[in-house]
Each structure stands twice: as structure tokens, then as C-alpha cells.
Structure 1
Amino acid sequence: MLGTDSKVSVPAPTDVRVVGFARLRAGGVAAIVGASERGFQPALPRQLPEEFVRFMPRSARWVRSESFDRQVTGGTYSGAFYFDPGADWVSFDTTNPSAAASSGP
């Protein structure tokens, strides 16, 4: 894949990019970002496809943890995950995501 040695990789012609927003159950985001060892910091989702920007929650106060990103991706694909603890939103932007070996069927 192009750009694998950088923080932001460039999708190749055969890569699959999965981008979106999801709303978790009440308190779901607080449970994730409350883990102090992950070091969540304020951050804005970057480089979203233009057609997704209009769906972004306007009043969201996004936080992100590179440690959490690495834990989720397991180093097998690139991905960034942003959370809004106040409204339980998650924004995700991944390239070639795969299911974790322990995720089951």
C-alpha cells in the first residue's frame, strides 16, 4: 500500500476505504474514553470525503487516541477513530479494515 511509512496512507486502486459515523448506546463513548491509559485528546476528524461532511454532528466535541487506534487496528490496517463523549458519537475512517481474530463469526 502506498504511504505505509507515514501517519496518513494513500489508498491504492484496490484498497477499500470505510468511513462513517455511528451513535453508540448512552454512556458507550464515556466507557471507551474514560480509560486514562489511552490518553484521549481533543482532535477533529480529518480528510473526510466531502459527501460525509454534511452528516458530521455539528456540536460534537471530538477526542482521539492514537493508542486506541493502534489497539483496534492491531497494526493490520490504517484507521482513525474519533469520539464525542457528550452525545455518544463515533467517527471512523479506515482503509482495508479487517475483523480481529477474536471477534468471532
Structure 2
Amino acid sequence: MINTLHHLTALNNINTPDAAENASPLKICRQQADADKANIVLYAFLDQQHVGALDCSILEQQIDVHVLYVRPAYRQQGIAKALLASLCHDFPGREIHCQQQHI
């Protein structure tokens, strides 16, 4: 069995339109394995509830998104956009590629 140390780093709070009305900022945290800096998972929390996630690989010129998910009860509130915006902020100048779309 291999143990991999993961770090969960809290990023800035983000106010989505719906969260702003409720005065509850969306919190996005990033997790990545120490051994593999290329794979990152972002988690979205609203009112301390896990509401979404984004799993991706960071390459030299692009970002490959493997999973982008928002819980059904929290959709249409800008959470997916906030997760993608966080990626764009942290890795400027890279194209974002999503291979499949599931609804």
C-alpha cells in the first residue's frame, strides 16, 4: 500500500450571485498530491456543505478537465463557473479542455 500525502489548501472565498443574496460566500479549496503536481482537485463549499468539484491535469499549455460536478440542488448558482475561474486565475494563459459533457 502506498501512502500519498495530500494538501488541502483553502483559496479565496468567492461570492456567486446566489451566494451573495444569502450572504454565504463560496469557498474553493485545492488538493494535490505532493508527488504529482500536475493533478489537481478543486472542491467547492457553500455553508460548509461540499457542493461541487473539479478534477484536472495541468499541462504546459493547457488544462485537461476530467470531472466538473455540482450537486443538483446547487446548480445554476455559478459554482461551476467559479471553479473554472479559479483555475484560470491560478494558471493564466492556458487553454481549458473538457473532453465530455454529462448533464
TM over 0.5: no
TM-score norm. by structure 1 comes to 0.29
Question: Between Structure 1 and Structure 2, which shows a larger proportion of strand residues?
Answer: 2
* RCO comparison, higher one (Cα < 8 Å, 6+): 1
